[in-house]
Amino acid sequence: MTARTELLQGSLDLLVLKTLDLEPLHGWAIAKRIQLLSRDVLEVNQGSLYPALYRLRDRGLIESEFGESEEGRRVKVYALTPKGRAALVSGEQSWRLFADAVEAILAAG
C-alpha cells in the first residue's frame, strides 16, 4: 500500500508545467503522469487539475489545441509556451529555495 498525500497549495501549477516541459499531454494524461512520476505518492484531484489548466492557459503559460490520443480519439492537448518555460525555471528555483529552507528547519534538531 502506497502512502498518498495531498499536494501543497500552489505546487500543482509547478507540477503541471514540469510535466508539460517533457512533452505535450492531454488532461487525463497529465494527472496520470504526475501520479506516475511521484511513484503514486501524489494523486492529482481532477477537481483541481482542470481549473489549474485553465488558469495557466489564461495566464499564457500553456496553450491548448486539439490533437489525437494514442487511441486515436480527439483530445485537447496542452503544451508549454516560452513564457511558461520561463515561469517553470523561476518556479523551480523558488521551489528549491523553499524546499531547502523547510528541509533545513526540519533537520535542525
4 touches another protein (CB under 8 A): no
76 touches another protein (CB under 8 A): yes
51 touches another protein (CB under 8 A): yes
Q: Minimal distance in Å, beta carbon 6 to another protein? A: 14
Residue 35: count other Cβ atoms within 10 Å of its Cβ: 15
Residue of 2, 10, 13, 11 whose CA lies nearest to 39: 2
74 touches another protein (CB under 8 A): yes
E strand spans, 1-109: 25-26, 62-68, 74-80
Distances (CA, A) of 11 to 74, 75, 87, 108: 29, 25, 13, 24
Q: Minimal distance in Å, beta carbon 78 to another protein? A: 10
Question: 24, 35, 37, 55: which one contacts another protein (CB under 8 A)?
Answer: 55
Give me the residues that bind another protein (CB under 8 A), please: 26-29, 32, 45-47, 50-51, 54-55, 58, 69, 71, 73-76
